[in-house]
Chains A and B, each alone.
Chain A
Amino acid sequence: MEKEVKILAIESSCDETAAAVVVNGRDVRSNVISSQIDIHTLYGGVVPEIASRNHIERINQVIEQALKDANTTLDEIDAIGVTYGPGLVGALLVGVAEAKALAYAAHKPLVGVHHIEGHICANFIENKELEPPFLCLVVSGGHTHLVKVLDYGKYEILGKTRDDAAGEAFDKVARSIGLGYPGGPKIEKVSHEGNPKAIDFPRAKIVDGEYDFSFSGLKSAVLNYLNGCKMKNIEINQADVAASFQCAVTDVLVDHVRHAIDEYKMDKFAIAGGVASNGIIREALRELCKEKGVEFYHPSPIFCTDNAAMIGVAAYYEYINGKRDDLTLNAIPNLKLGER
């Protein structure tokens, strides 16, 4: 039998402190996430310095719990994977410094992981048969990427957002209609009581980048609509605004994926990232795949939002490809997808 490769993975790029143990890139033995969402809700969004402070206070407990849940010890770990970008630099640095110190003192190889690659790799956890190549849409609070996954660790970016990430637009719109943070789940919840066709918000098309996205115009259109209502003393229907905004985002995402499926003749499609846990968006994409005869994949919500299991999966494929980082590994807040 092939020897097991056991990865301890650490993730601290935003507001979740997470650690996981993953075997052979597909078998998640533990997945510990300490979320700071309640703290940041007080501020209406993630405060970088507060996120960093919480990471340093919790990181050892989270790692120890991940080892314990996996019924293993640091001695039995083959390599340590850690997110080194993109993300909040102060937050990333906690995980990177911790992972380097662990790897150094325990004499383990260190593998730096790209956060978005982690999100894409989350699809491998529950879909054991999924292998590249496939088309993948990554949508989260910080990222919106349409990517061709050519092989493990090999990506071709077809398009990305020119301004706000989809999740960012959800947060901003949620705040403007008084739903608060985090916007994604809150908008989805109230949207069920609203009419998605009530308000015709714009669906942005980028002239010189067919697969690029832009959500800042949509966000402004929502804000303008709200201001207009206020001026005219028209009562705002929160559920209709939420549903109509969400519908506009969904249409743009579906439209881009439809074109990419047609142009690149991909037979597998996966979604990833926090926004992928939005039921309306997921179902619309599932419908599209059904119509096109394309296999549809998505991670469970727990693997959509930030977690370390996905980092462990990505680290495994990097590790078996021979990637190793040394003690000078640094956090790179604007790390590009596919960069090494």
Chain B
Amino acid sequence: MKLLAIDSSGVVASVAVVDEDKVLAEYTINNKKTHSQTLLPMIDEIVKMLELDLEEIDAIAISEGPGSFTGLRIGSATAKGMGLALGKRIVEVPTVDALAWNVWPTSSLICPLMDARRQQTYTGLYKRKDNDIEVVKAQCVVKIEEIVEQINELGQEVIFLGDGVKVFKEYIKENVKVPFMFAPVSINEQRASSVACLGMKLIKEGKTCSASEHKPNYLRLSQAERERQQKVRDFKIC
């Protein structure tokens, strides 16, 4: 089984082609250029290098979110367009889960932190269980205080990673009461090979969708919707 994997949820753009037992190619760019300009040229580059016929791909794994709304949509539209043209199915991979898959194997808790702005983080908690990663806390958007409190309650050693680390480093150093460490740079941010590996597992569990069914998982409403809900709530209280 061969998967094309795409992650454009953060500043990093990453694409990979992964076979059952090896990463055939992975291309990650961390630059100012927009995903709209980089993503498809990157895919094209690895396809050429691999002399790959796109028809050979079995499915497309997409990092579904959370993350930058626009970034997620560029990745999604790329996956949907390719899925439509090639008649391939999509496997939606939770972005924070895929980040946890960067860190493996470890007996520590894994806590990816993505910068979600507005003093919040897209995060979750993960732990190795036998030959798999178990989700302790599913991906969510919370204040850094909330996730740190939960980590302290669990009382286990923890590894932090993600683009949120640099944002919350000082807070972590001051407030985390358990032994902790930060992941090395090489595995700190989104990698499409991890998206592919988790995607492979999800496919075996039968969790795929059609290209037209796929949509990003933002974990957050748009600002206009939030404000409207707030208004509706205020109105009900009055």
Residues of A at the B interface (CB closer than 8 Å) are 42-43, 47, 49-50, 52-53, 55-57, 59-61, 63-64, 74, 89-90, 93-102, 104-106, 327-331
Contacts and interface: CB of A to CB of B under 8 A. Distances in A.
Contacts of A50: 222, 224-225
Interface stretch (B80-88, B97-105, B147-155): B80-88
Nearest to A328: B37
B118 to A, nearest CB: 14
A59 to B, nearest CB: 7
Interface of A is mostly: helix
A105 B85 CA distance: 6
Contacts of A105: 54, 81-82, 85-86
B224 A43 contact: yes
Given A56-B215, A327-B41, A90 B86 contact: no
B125 interface: no
A64 B84 contact: yes
Given A53-B222, A98-B77, A102-B81, A60 B69 contact: no
Contacts of A106: 85
B237 to A, nearest CB: 20
Contacts of A60: 80, 83-84, 211-212
Contacts of A56: 73, 76-77, 80, 215-216
Nearest to B227: A43
A53 B72 CA distance: 10
A93 B86 CA distance: 21
Contacts of B80: 56, 59-60, 98, 101
Contact of B77 (A49, A101, A327): A101
Interface in B180-196: none
Interface in B22-36: 34, 36
A49 B40 contact: no
A93 B73 contact: yes
A52 B69 contact: yes
A74 B85 contact: yes
B44 interface: yes
Nearest to A61: B212
Nearest to B84: A60
Contacts of A331: 36
B130 to A, nearest CB: 37
Given A93-B74, A327-B41, A102 B222 contact: no
B111 interface: no
B110 interface: no
A78 to B, nearest CB: 15
B28 to A, nearest CB: 18
A327 B40 contact: yes
